[in-house]
Amino acid sequence: MRDLDLLVASVRDANSRKHLAEAARAYQAGAYRAAIVSTWVALAFDLVAKLRELADTGDRAAGKKILDLDAAISQQNLGKLQEFERSLLSVCKDDFELLSERDVEVLDRLRADRHVCAHPAFVSEDLIFTPTAELTRAHIAAVVDTVLRLPATPGRQLVERFKEESISTAWPDDQEGLREYLAERYFGRARESTQGKLAELIVKTCMAIPENAPGREVIAERYPKIAWSLYQVRPDVVVAAIEHVVRKKEESAGLSEDELRRAVGALGPVQALWDYLPEASVPRLLTCMRSSPITALVEAGVFSADLASHPTADAVREIRKSRAGDIDAETLADNLRRRPGPLLLDVAVARVAEGESWKNTNTLMPALSASAEYLTPDHLRTLCEAATSEHDVITAFATDRELARIYAERGEVDGLADVWSTAAQTPHPDAGGESYAYSQLRAVMNLTSETRAHES
C-alpha cells in the first residue's frame, strides 16, 4: 500500500498539492465521500492549471480554452462551467494529449464516484453509494500517477522537443550522461503512452532516417547511442517498441534492405531485435549482409555494432567478419572516430601490425589513439610489438605521437610495462642506431634521454 504522504509530496504543482492534501486528511479521518470529492477537485484544478501553463507558453488552442473559461467564471455562467467540467477529460485527451485513452478510463471512474458522493439525493435510499477505504485510496493514487505528478507537456510537444534536442549541440555525448538525461527529461515523468511514442520514434529513426530530416549525419551517429542508452534504463519500452515496429513493417511491405542494414547497425546489441525478427525474414537479412556494397554496410553501422547473442546474430557476425577486410583504411579510421566497435578495432590493429603501408599506418594510428579507451590489453600489446618490428610502422610520422597519446591514457594497464618499455627502446632505423624512434613516447614515459649513446 502506497504512503499517502509520499503521494501528496509527489504532486508537481503547489496549489494542486494543497487540494490533494485535503483529500488525504479526509481519508485519514474516515470521510471517504469527502476524500473522493476533494480528489476530483484536485484533479480538475490541476488540469486547468496545466492548460493555463500551456496558454502562457503560446499554445493558442489552450489560450482560447482559458479565455472561454475565464469569461464563464466572470459572468457566472453555470451552464458553460458545467459543460467545461464535463468535457475536461476528453478535451485534455483529444485536443492536448495531456491524457491517454487509458488515463481517461481510470479518471472517468473517479468522476462517476464523485457524482454519487456529491449528490446522494439523486439515487434511492437503498442505493446510496458508500465508498470503501481501498477504493478511495486507489482514486487518490490514480490522479497522482496520471496527472498530478506530471508536467504540462502534451505528448506531441514532448516528441517534437526530443527531435529538436537530439540533433542540437547541447545533447549529452557520453553514455552515462545520456542515460541520466533520457531518464530524467523524457522517460522519468512522461506518461506511458508518450514514452511508447518516443521509443517507437527512436526505433523507427534507427531503422530509416527520413530523407528530409535535418542533421541526417548527426541522427545516424546519435540515435544508435540513444537506443542503447534507453535500453539500459528502460528496456521494457525499447523491447515493446521494437516488437511493434518490426511486426508492423513485416505485416505490410516488409523491411527494406536499408532498414535491415540499419536495424543491425543500430539495434543489433538489443536481444529483442533478433527475437522479433520473423523467421521468414532471416534469409533476406543474411543475403543482404553478404551482397550489400561494403560502403552501405559501413554507413549503417553494421561493423560497429556489438551484436547480441542469438543464432541469427551469430550468422551475421560471421558474414561481417569475412567482409571487414574490404573496408579501406580511410573509411575504417573515420568509423573508428565516430563509433568504435570491437570488430573495427580488431581490423585496424591487425592492419597496423601487418605493416600494410606507411600511409595506412598514418591513417589508422590517429583513429586508434582516439579510441584508446576501447583498446584491449591484446590490442595494446600488438601495437607495441608492431612498433618495434615493422619498418613502415616505425617510420610513419604518426606512430610516435599516437603511441604517446595511447600511453598517456592506457599506459597503466597491468602486465604491459615490459612491452611499452621495449617499444620505447626501439632505435630509429635511419639514425644508425644512435637515437630512438619514439621521442614523444619516451617523454610521456619520463624517459628523458634522447639518444642510445647517452644511456650507454
Sign of the Cα pseudo-torsion (440, 445, 449, 452, in order): negative
Q: What's the pLDDT at 433?
A: 58
Say if residues 198 and 162 touch (Cβ distance below 8 Å). yes
| Digit-coded pLDDT (tens) for 195-204 | 898 999 999 9
The Cα–Cα gap between 219 and 107 comes to 38
Q: What's the pLDDT at 345?
A: 95
Q: What average pLDDT score do residues 105-123 get?
A: 84
Q: What's the pLDDT at 84?
A: 93
Grid cell locating 302: 553494421
Q: What average pLDDT score do residues 206-215 get?
A: 85
Tell me the pLDDT of the chain averaged across its residues: 89
Outline where 277-390 has alpha helix (H).
282-291, 294-299, 311-323, 329-338, 342-353, 358-370, 377-389
Sign of the Cα pseudo-torsion (388, 389, 395, 398, in order): negative
Spans of all domains in the chain:
4-148, 155-325, 329-455
Contacts of 345 (CB under 8 A, 6+ apart): 336, 368, 371, 374, 375, 376, 379
For residue 436, list its beta bridge partners. 427
The Cα–Cα gap between 182 and 234 comes to 10
DSSP-derived secondary structure for 31-82? -HHHHHHHHHHHHHHHHHHHHHHHHHTT-HHHHHHHHHHHHHHHTT-HHHHH
For residue 451, list its beta bridge partners. 435
Q: How many residues does the chain have?
A: 456
Name the DSSP class of 120: G
Q: In degrees to the nearest 10, what's the CA dihedral of 361, 362, 366, 372? A: 20
Say if residues 24 and 17 touch (Cβ distance below 8 Å). no
Q: What's the pLDDT at 456?
A: 41
The Cα–Cα gap between 342 and 269 comes to 12
Question: CB pairs under 8 A, 24+ apart, for 326-331?
Answer: 326/294, 327/294, 327/298, 327/303, 329/356, 329/359, 329/360, 329/363, 329/364, 330/363, 331/295, 331/298
Helix (H) or strand (E) holding 218: helix 216-233
The Cα–Cα gap between 161 and 153 comes to 10
The CATH code of domain 155-325 reads 1.25.40
Say if residues 341 and 305 touch (Cβ distance below 8 Å). yes
Q: What average pLDDT score do residues 106-130 get?
A: 79
Of 47-61, 342-356, 426-440, which range is least confident? Answer: 426-440
| Digit-coded pLDDT (tens) for 231-254 | 999 999 999 999 999 988 888 888
Indicate if the pLDDT at residue 453 is higher than 70.
no
Helix, strand or coil, per DSSP, at residue 369: helix
| Digit-coded pLDDT (tens) for 401-425 | 999 999 999 988 888 999 999 999 9
Of 5-9, 199-203, 427-431, which range is least confident? Answer: 427-431
Q: How far apart are the first and last CA of the chain?
A: 79
Of 91-100, 131-140, 300-309, 382-391, which range is least confident? Answer: 91-100
Q: What's the pLDDT at 127?
A: 62
